[in-house]
Amino acid sequence: MVAAQVVRGEALAEQAGGIADAVAGITVRLYGDIPADEADAAARVLTLITQRANAELAAIPT
């Protein structure tokens, strides 16, 4: 039983590695040519919006 679990765990780890590689490739294609200063500005704006949205959600009575 334990050996089968190890084999399944290794298979899942291999699959996860393949998924991570695919996501990394997509990320490079989507964001790779965006200048760093523009990406930094976008990150600041999105962080601010996220903070505001979280504050709005926290203010909703439950």
pLDDT in tens, 31-54: 999 999 999 999 999 999 999 999
Same domain, 3 and 22: yes
**Count of domains observed in the chain:** 2
| The predicted structure's pLDDT at residue 1 | 61
Same domain, 58 and 41: yes
Task: Tell me what pLDDT residue 6 has.
Answer: 64
Residues 42 and 24 in one domain: no
Kindly report the pTM of this predicted structure: 0.56
Q: Are residues 22 and 41 in the same domain?
A: no
The structure tokens listed for 22 are 């695919």
Residue 59: domain span? 35-62
Q: Evaluate whether 51 touches 43 at the Cβ level (below 8 Å).
A: no
Question: CB-hemisphere CA count at 13 Å for 30?
Answer: 6
